[in-house]
Structure 1
Amino acid sequence: MGAGRLLVLCLALCAAAAAAQRGIRRPRTVSVGALFTYESTIGRAARLAIELAVDDVNADRTVLAGTTLNLISQDTNCSGFLGTIEALQLMEKNVVAVIGPQSSGIGHVISHVVNELHVPLLSFAATDPTLSASEYPYFLRSTISDYFQMHAVASIIDYFQWKEVTAIFVDDDYGRGGVSVLGDALGAKRARISHKAAIPPNSDTDLINDVLFRANMMESRVFVVHVNPDAGMRIFAIANKLQMMGTGYVWIVTDWLAAVLDSSGPGDPKAMSYIQGLIVLRQHTPDSDAKRKFVAKWNNAANNRSIASGMNSYGFYAYDSVWVVARAINEYLNSGQQITFSADPRLHNSNGSSLRLSKLKIFDGGDQLLQQLLLTNMTGLTGLVQFNADRNLVRPAYDILNVGGTGSRLIGHWSNYSGLSVSSPEILYRKPPNTSTSAQQLHSVVWPGDTTTKPRGWVFPNNGQPLRVGVPNKPSFRELVSVGKGPDNVTGYSVDIFNAAIKLLPYPVPCQFITIGDGSKNPNYDDIISRIATNALDAAVGDFAIVRNRTKIAEFTQPYIEAGLVIVAPVRKANSNAWAFFKPFTLEMWCVTGTLFIFVGVVVWILEHRSNEEFRGSPRRQILTIFWFSFSTMFFAHSKFTKCIT
């Protein structure tokens, strides 16, 4: 390891010597700007991480040898207006790159400025997916875009087979951009956002209460919360008062809550009680010795500076961002480029104005430095740092946490490489990608209400009307439908089947049984079904026959009772004897049958006795032949004995 560092140092010194031979002198200092909110959950972790990264860069002789990296920080104060002013003041100080901003809203504004001044903007916290390279060519995101986070949320929703969600989001660029992508991601999985609950920035408690109350009136019980970390915890305190944190509710929270939990350390028991059972996403950063050493170093520095908050994942991305910029500047200088600025003729001081626009200068080597940034290929605290064609990190991944007790536990991971998995992304990267449904896995979840049973995710809306079900009140066939005392005291086989079908639905449906008829006579069934067609009833339950005229005005279920032709006879014991064959026919029937046989015999004798010797003889013989012929026809044909007939 020491020989490798010595080799890198020799190469850097050779490059510096070669540059000196060409007459190019490396600058003593290079200024880099940083934009973020000092007193914020992300800002407190990022500020110290950036300062430690600058110290590490300046202490490393293999990077920027002979040149000191000078950090100029500006506080955006959680304000879009003040943040824009601070950014313009930063640009006056001839910085070659800016790390930040923390806010997506400020990122939209400042990206227009850096496009004109050719200063690369490397943000470690602006996750709005609408901050695209096509619109802002000098904007580069060194953290994971919310485009991937929303696809991770959609994968979780699809894994648990929910089809409708309510999106609770802050009504700014950051919130709207994320929810827009979430809608598209859910649509690809045949789900949707059924209600959008937008919370204006800097809302008071009453306004948040109204937004959550309206959201609770909707059918969906799956809530996706995408807000800012500094005000997000108030949402759960208010939701708890509205009894929205109990059994049956599902809360999926984006990475802002993980940043809050990681920064706050052991949580306040009262605050933690509000968020039990939540599913939380957090940017995945692989475990490594370098990461552990940095966390220990950060904690020591925080204790020395009396910083009460802890480290979070955004701090790791801020640290890596400094190294990305430092390495790009080093490659830029090694290529023989110089750091120079030139005035923009379009920017000049207006008469009577205190704005000194002429101090905003164009970085002449901005495009070359941007190209060096895009060629970054290093391993940092967050893992592989490399950008794809869309200028996003090549391996976006998230940890999926389940909040419980005084902390949270890991239930799985998501990556755009293999989707949901209980294995770490680093293991999956060594295998072929597999995003099939059968390969998606998560550990068990403890949901709100301290239950492991998966919530249905849908309930009948609080402001909805019950299902109006018509039931015939009749005196006949009470085993099928029977109406007792009270409006809902309805029983019977048909009613039992209806109630069993209602219970199979993945959501509760309240029903109101409406009896039709006075019970003394059967009501008109056609009239009951016509009430469904006129919207007087929503459904009808009973022994309704499916006939043609009724199917024209209403939909029927599949028949659940077979009503074919049957013979009903009393059951009694039968005595068997030799004369049992007489029982199928009555005496009158047997007499009629015998008469017909004799009649047939007489007719045959009349036709045959003149020409057929078998039918001649004494009168006694001819009479016996008639009777024998009549009854023997029951057992065989007499074609050989008859001549005229055949």
Structure 2
Amino acid sequence: MNNEEVQAIIGPQNSNQAKFVINLGEKAQIPIISFSATIPSLSQTQSRFFIRTGLDDSSQVKAITSIVKAYGWREVVLIYEDTEYGNGLIPYITDAFQQIDTRVPYRSVMSPSSSPYQILKELTKLMGMETRVFLVHMTASLGSKVFVHAKEAGMMSKGYAWITTAGLSTLLHPEIEEAKVAGSMEGVLGVRPYVPTSKVLEDFKLRWKRRKLPNIAKTMQSTSEINLFGLWAYDTIWALAKAVELVGLEVNYSSDVLKHKTNSKNTDEMLGITVSKAGPRLLQALLRTSFQGLSGKFQLINGHLQPAAYEIINVVRKNETVIRYCWAPNKEAFHDLVQISNASKPIWPGNTSTPPKGWVIPVTGKKLRIGVPVKAGFKEFVNIDWSRHTNEPKISGLSIDVFREVLKRIPFAVLYEFIPYMNSSTKEAAGTYDELIYQIKLKFSIYKSF
């Protein structure tokens, strides 16, 4: 920093790096600009020289809760990585869930270095729980592994609901990932900041795709799609360039450093850190900078990028489908995704359009066993027919329809089977009503149906 006469630093990539560099920036009094360190605890209260040109993770919690509230889910299991990034969002999301009366019955914390065995062991534990709604807050490297193993464990099937936070939704693009990862995310919902379309953005994407990539294999060129963090990085460079012009700094292209036209440095001999005189002025210029960037309007509020609207995405056939914009910072009310007619209906795991109920009795090898009485008359209420091909009973009638309709309306799924109380001829009842009740008391332990 001293030798190169650094006047600003861009790109502490993660939160741990940002905290260290922020401390240096405070001592040197130069702007520290990050577009990818997203934990909410990083703010100008720690250092007035810290600027975040991306959105922090807490800005997405209302978008996430809008999904949970829309489908009436009362419990959500959190799955997140054991890093500062992973832990940083948890207090905000749990508080937001409490406000909509949604419980977090379990928190699944995974290390970034988790082995396949450790991931599968944790997923097996989740399979044994009643809750079937999972919120995943991880980086792409760990999140992609979790979804691959969840697919192998049968957890990407009907009845499950998976939601990813903005970090994973932004970085993990199924259409450009390897087939194994993309196929494991079918039916996943995600939230991410909305980027408005513009001619400038489309022109930039076109130039980006046409650019030459020397010394990079053709297989790598297909994965060069720019994501939201790339757009934020581009806008950050423009913002700094505009601020440099306002302050009157010169760019020394031969050494790629910023230099002030006059002697702009003092040396703190005790700390060994060179203190910048131009840094505070550059900071103020950055805070005042406003323009229409690739990612939308660039404007800083209290040292952070202004809040943006979020959109919901749905992974369908290895591609992303935008459901709709679910939350905007200037709107207090949530959109009801179930009732809005112009909203695209999500495809859920198991390739179904029926929303998961979010709760189920864990599969233990047994189902809820329901005794069905056999009567000669009143077949409109309960009727039992036998299939000639499969020799399986077909149960119908008003009472059966009412029972099934009730199951649809309760907030969790119940695995069940009907047991006709018949003798071996499948034509007559095996006993009286009292005997049927007694068999229910015994849980049909001594009765063999059919």
Instruction: Assess same fold via TM > 0.5.
Output: yes
Q: Percent identity?
A: 29
Which is bigger in relative contact order (C-alpha 8 A, separation at least 6)? Answer: 2
Distance 1:292 1:366, change over 3 A: same
Counterparts of 2:39 and 2:89, CA distance in 1 = 6
Structure 1 or 2, whichever has the larger Rg, is 1
Pick one of 333, 339, 343 that aligns with 2:248: 333
CA contact (8 A) 1:339 1:363 kept: no
Counterpart of 2:74? 163
Q: CA deviation at 1:97?
A: 1.0
Q: CA deviation at 1:361?
A: 1.7
Q: Describe the superposition over 1:415-457 as per-residue Cα deviations: whole angstroms up to 9, x where unpaired.
A: 4335xxxxxxxxxxxxxx4635569843210111110011101
Q: Which amino acid aligns with 2:201?
A: K
Q: Which has the higher helix share?
A: 1
Counterpart of 2:163? 252
The residue correspondences of 1:489-568 to structure 2 (distance < 5 A) are: 504-509=409-414
Counterparts of 1:382 and 1:136, CA distance in 2 = 26
Counterparts of 2:51 and 2:241, CA distance in 1 = 15
Q: CA deviation at 1:101?
A: 1.1
Counterpart of 2:429? none
Counterpart of 1:97? 8
Counterpart of 1:282? 192
Structure 2: any 5+ residue segments left out of the alignment? Answer: 250-259, 371-397, 418-433, 442-450
Distance 1:94 1:455, change over 3 A: same
CA contact (8 A) 2:298 2:306 kept: yes
Counterpart of 2:270? 346
Counterpart of 1:450? 351
CA contact (8 A) 2:175 2:182 kept: no
Counterparts of 1:395 and 1:305, CA distance in 2 = 39
Counterparts of 1:435 and 1:466, CA distance in 2 = 41
Secondary structure class of the residue paired with 1:132? coil
Q: CA deviation at 1:497?
A: 8.8
Quote the RMSD (CA, aligned, Å). Answer: 3.9
Counterparts of 1:323 and 1:109, CA distance in 2 = 25
496-505 or 290-299: bigger deviation: 496-505
Q: Confirm whether residue 417 of structure 1 aligns to residue 329 of structure 2.
A: yes
Q: CA deviation at 1:250?
A: 0.7
Counterpart of 2:382? none
Counterparts of 2:335 and 2:162, CA distance in 1 = 23
Q: Describe the superposition over 1:512-558 as per-residue Cα deviations: whole angstroms up to 9, x where unpaired.
A: 9xxxxxx69x99xxxx9xxxxxxxxxxxxxxxxxxxxxxxxxxxxxx
Counterparts of 2:209 and 2:10, CA distance in 1 = 22
Counterparts of 2:6 and 2:19, CA distance in 1 = 19
Q: CA deviation at 1:461?
A: 3.7
Q: Describe the superposition over 1:376-406 as per-residue Cα deviations: whole angstroms up to 9, x where unpaired.
A: 21111111111123x3322412232111113
Q: Which amino acid aligns with 2:35?
A: F
Q: CA deviation at 1:297?
A: 2.3
Q: CA deviation at 1:278?
A: 0.9
Counterpart of 1:371? 284
Counterpart of 1:60? none
Counterpart of 2:361? 460
Secondary structure class of the residue paired with 2:266? strand
Counterparts of 1:456 and 1:337, CA distance in 2 = 65
Counterparts of 1:221 and 1:126, CA distance in 2 = 30
Distance 1:451 1:385, change over 3 A: same
Counterparts of 2:238 and 2:28, CA distance in 1 = 22
CA contact (8 A) 2:34 2:53 kept: yes
Counterparts of 2:199 and 2:14, CA distance in 1 = 31
Counterparts of 1:119 and 1:437, CA distance in 2 = 42
Counterparts of 1:465 and 1:130, CA distance in 2 = 47
TM-score normalised by L of structure 2: 0.75
The residue correspondences of 1:3-402 to structure 2 (distance < 5 A) are: 93-262=4-173, 266-304=176-214, 306=216, 308=221, 309-310=223-224, 311-333=226-248, 338=262, 340-347=264-271, 358=272, 360-389=273-302, 391-402=303-314
CA contact (8 A) 1:337 1:365 kept: no
CA contact (8 A) 1:384 1:395 kept: no
Counterpart of 2:431? none
Distance 1:108 1:214, change over 3 A: farther
Q: Which amino acid aligns with 2:300?
A: F
Counterparts of 1:438 and 1:410, CA distance in 2 = 16
Q: Which amino acid aligns with 1:204?
A: S
Q: CA deviation at 1:261?
A: 4.5
CA contact (8 A) 1:320 1:381 kept: yes
Distance 1:463 1:184, change over 3 A: farther
Counterparts of 1:187 and 1:295, CA distance in 2 = 41
Distance 1:497 1:270, change over 3 A: closer
Distance 1:497 1:403, change over 3 A: closer
Q: How many residues are aligned here? A: 389
